[in-house]
Amino acid sequence: MISCVNYENLQQFGKAFSSQFRLRYRCFIERQKYNVSSYNEMEYDQYDTPASAYFVYESPDGEALGCSRLTPVSQGSMLQDLWPDLVDNPDHLYTNNVWEGTRFCIDKRLPPNLRQQICRELVLAYLEFGLNNGVQKIIGVMPPLIFKRVFGRAGCEYDLLGPEKIIDDGDVIRAAALVVSAERLIRVRKKTGISQSVLNTGIVLSTNQKTKVA
């Protein structure tokens, strides 16, 4: 089950909220050596906004084992600010009902089967949240191989938005978009064998909700 945390339900998911910042610190600062902000071994950046939704897979004692973040591009995005050259059609960066997925990470210390389960549930959480909140597309930037491993293996189709780019550390990155639809959610559920909703939102979110996911 994925806890969906925002600034309106922190009273229900406060431990998950703080724990995902610590997981991000271990993943992006300790392991991947990102030069980004931190405080008390918690990683954060300018895209942690009141509009953001955080997805957290928790251990029984409440520690984050996997997490990701979605933010509406109307509030700014990494692709707008850092890599606009990765997107051939700039409408993707400014259109209403487009959100950006970032800070996707899973604890490397976990066994492979649990890591795979968390990855699949996070992909499903993207689609469920999108359907529940009128999101048409979710965009993001990753190495092409990670797109294939995370989304392709889960049966979630994605559309490439522009060219590849080699960044300073030598990694290749590329932008892509997931079209949110009930049909794609059904396909991913069939591929992963996860037939029930994975998303625990607690109280109702403030964003406009259109299609409810059973």
Virtual CA dihedral for 199, 204, 205, 211, nearest 10 degrees?
70
pTM above 0.75, yes or no: yes
Residue pLDDT, tens place only, 126-141:
999 999 999 999 999 9
Cβ–Cβ under 8 Å, residues 101 and 153 = no
**Residue whose C-alpha is closest to residue 153's, from 193, 199, 182:** 193
Give the CATH fold of the 2-200 domain. Aminopeptidase (3.40.630)
The structural domains of the chain, with segments of one domain joined by +, span: 2-200
Which tens digits make up the pLDDT trace of 104-134?
999 999 999 999 999 999 999 999 999 999 9
